[in-house]
Structure 1
Amino acid sequence: MDKLIIGRYIPGNSVIHRLDPRSKLLAMIIYVVIVFWANNFVTNLLIFTFTLIMVLLSQVKLSFFLKGIQPMVGIILFTTFFQMFFTQGGAILFQFWFLKITAYGLSQAALIFMRFVLIIIFSTLITLTTTPLSLADAVESLLQPLVKFKVPAHEIGLMLSLSLRFVPTLMDDTTRIMNAQRARGVDFGEGNIFQKVKSIIPILIPLFASSFKRADALAVAMEARGYQGGEGRSKYRLLHWQLKDSLALLILLFLGILLFVLKAK
C-alpha cells in the first residue's frame, strides 16, 4: 500500500512544482497523444530523454518513480504478453501450439511496454508535484467554458478533490482491515488465484461500509456549513498563468512535432 502514489504530493520548490496546475494537466494530455508517435529508436530515445529531464527538474528521486510503477507491473506485463503472442507479422521467432512470437509482435510488445512506463512516470510526475486541491481547481478552471453547455464544472472539480483527498484514507482503512483479518487467521497469500480472490471479500465488505459512513458524515458536514455549490463562491487559492507555463507547453508541442516528423511511416 505504501507504494501507491495516487493522491500523494511531495512538497518542493522545483521548476515543475512552480508551474500552473492547468499547464501540467494540458501537458499531460499532449504527452499521452505524442507518446504514441514514438515508434522507432530515435523517437523513443527523444521522449525517454525528455521524460528523464522532467524527472530530474522535479527534484524527486528516480527511485520513487520506479517504486510507483511496481503496483502496475501486473497490468503492464499482461498487456505486453498479450500483444507479443497475438500480434502477427514478420519472421516467426518461437512457436508452441497456437502461440507464436514474431519479430513484429515482439517489437510491438516492446513499444506497448515503453508507452505504459512513460505514461505512468509522467502522470506520477504531475501527481507528486501538484497538490490534489490544485489539480481539482485546474480541472474546474479548464472546464469552465463548458458551463454554457450545462457541464457541472464545479461539481466535477469537487468530486475530483474529494476523491484524491480520501485515497490515502482508503489505503489506511484497507491496511487496518487487513491487519484485523490477519489477526483472525485470514491468510491473503495462500491458495490458488480463486482462493486469493475469495479472501479479498472480507476486506471489501467492511471497506465499503466504512466508506459509505464517511461519505454520509461528509455530506452532513457540508450541509451543516451551508454548502450550496460553486455559484457566487470566491476562492482562497488563485491560479496564475505565467510565461513559464506557456514555454513549457511550447516545448512539449515542439517535441510532438519532432516525433511526428521522425516517426516510422
Structure 2
Amino acid sequence: MKVLVLGATGYIGGAVVEKLQERGHDVVVVVRGERQVPGVTDVRNGDLSDPATIEVTPDIDAVVHAAQLTGDEAVDLEAIGKLTVKPLVYVSGVWVLGPVDGGHEESPTDPIPLVGYRPKVERLVRDAGGTVVRPGVVHGRGAGIAALLRGQAAERGQGVYVSDGTVPTWAFVHVDDLAELIVAVVEKGEKGALYHGITEEGVPLTEVAQAAAESAGVARSAHPWPLEEAAQLLGQGFAEALALSQRVGSDRTRAALGWNPSRPGIVADLVEGSYQGSL
C-alpha cells in the first residue's frame, strides 16, 4: 500500500513510518518547509494549519494522521475532511475519556479542556469510514512525557508527579508497540472502528516518579508537584492533563486485531531501558 503520513517528523509519526516501511509499504510524508524524513523519498509540502495546502492524491491508498491538532477547531475539522477522501487512521488519545476507572473502547467521552473538541474530530473520521486509535501516555525511545518527568527529577533532586491532592494512575503504551498497532489498523482495521493502544492499564504515578528519579541518578522518591505550581511552568491545560487519573484497557482491540505488545513497561523503560544515558 502507499500510505500518506502526517506528523512523520514527530514522536509517534516517526515510529509509524519505520514500521510501515518494515512491513513493505510505500510511505509518503507531508512536512512543513524543507524537512526530510530518513528513508522516505516522496516528501510533500503541506501545513495542517492551512488545509488548502493538504492534498491526498489518487495514488494514495491510506492516510495516517499522527500530527498534533492545531488548536483551531474549524481548521482541524476542515483538514480532517480533506483527508477522509481515502481510508484515514487518526491517532487521538485516551485523554478524551476524562477521569475514568475501567475505561474501554466503548466508554463515553468526557474530554479534559486540553482536548476539548477532539471527540468531534474522532466522530468526523469514523462517520467518513475512517478509524481512530487512542493511545495511552506514550513512552519509549527516551522521549515523551516520561523524559519530562525524568528531567524534573534531575532538576529537583527528587521524583515528582503532578497532583491535585491525589495520586493519579495513567494508562501507558510503548511507542514501538503503538506504531505496530497503527500499522495493523492500516492493514486490517474495520471501517468506522475505534481502537485503544494500551499496554499498562493503570500505573500509579508514585511508581513512575520513583523510576524517573532512579533513572536520573537521584534518590528514589515520589513527591507531589502541586497542580498550581506545575501550571506556572507547563501551562494550565497540560498541567491538568498530567494530574488526570485514568485506568483504561484495550482488551477489545487486542482481540479484534491480534495485537500483542511486547516492549518494556514504563517503570522498566525508565530504570533500565531507553531513558538511560546523559540528560
TM-score, length basis structure 2: 0.23
Bigger share in strand: 2
TM-score, length basis structure 1: 0.24
Q: Which has the higher contact order (CA 8 A, sep 6+)?
A: 1
Bigger share in helix: 1
